[in-house]
Amino acid sequence: MKLYKLSSPGWEKDFQTENELKQELFTWLCDGCLEGSKYFDDDGKLEYEDLPVNADSSLNEMLNTACGCEFVTDVFEIRFENCRD
């Protein structure tokens, strides 16, 4: 399986397991992504909340962070291909 970094300078890396891929992706997540963030409107009402992630979070949760959106993987394509009939 591959992990692709889309932002410059981009790269791609091969991994044998999803866990190895997650470990690499986790190293690219900033403190804000790890801790989560809350966004409030002008009246102080919560508009949106990014949940925190950690090393045990799912690959999807890591990819859905602000830093994680700089990456894409073929893991989900493989899973979807296995589900098609």
Where is pLDDT greater, at 80 or 39? 39
Domain boundaries along the sequence of the chain: 2-83
In single-letter form, the type of residue at position 27 comes to T
pLDDT at 75: 75
Query: pLDDT class for 50, splitting at 50, 70, 90?
Result: confident
- Using one digit for the tens of pLDDT, what is the confidence trace for 53-80? 999 999 989 998 989 999 999 876 544 4
Task: Tell me if 4 sits within 8 A of 73, measured CB to CB.
Answer: yes
Cβ within 8 Å of residue 85, ≥6 positions away: none
